[in-house]
Amino acid sequence: MPSGTLKPLAIELTRPPIDGKHQWKEVFRPSWEASDLWLGRLAKAHILAHDSGYHQLVSHWLRTHCCVEPYVIATNRHLSAMHPIHRLLHPHLRYTMEINALARKLLINADGTIEKSFFPHKYSVEISSIVYDKL
């Protein structure tokens, strides 16, 4: 193992009680036994799937696209096109509103790509809204 590489000691997966089913919790540890090896890899894949959903919804959509929208609007409404700050920001903010409009239309809408592809499915926009409110 190269130095500086993190290796997980264990992965704990938990399912909350849903529809009368009891809470399920299991810890997966790295192993060289065939069945344990594959269970550990499946647990890791499960974590990576959730992490990619979090990244797309929270880190990328909310913390970049959504958070910059008010600044784009304020810049366009209140600064002259000749203002030095407007001229500085314009190349960076130029297509933000169009990109966000397309994202709302195709990616994060009801039954859109995000809801079909990532872990929270129909709760994607609701989770985004809650996290955005807390930002």
Provide the percentage of residues in the chain whose pLDDT is more than 70.
Answer: 97
b/e map 109-120, b = 16+ CB within 10 Å: eeebebbeebeb
Q: Distance between CA 99 and CA 89 in Å, rounded?
A: 16
pLDDT per residue over 71-111, tens digit each?
A: 999 999 999 999 999 999 999 999 999 999 998 888 887 77
| The most confident of 58-67, 69-78, 105-114, 124-133, by mean pLDDT | 69-78
Residue 1: its pLDDT value, please? 55
The answer to whether residues 26 and 11 touch, using CB atoms and an 8 Å cutoff, is: no
Task: Specify the pTM.
Answer: 0.68
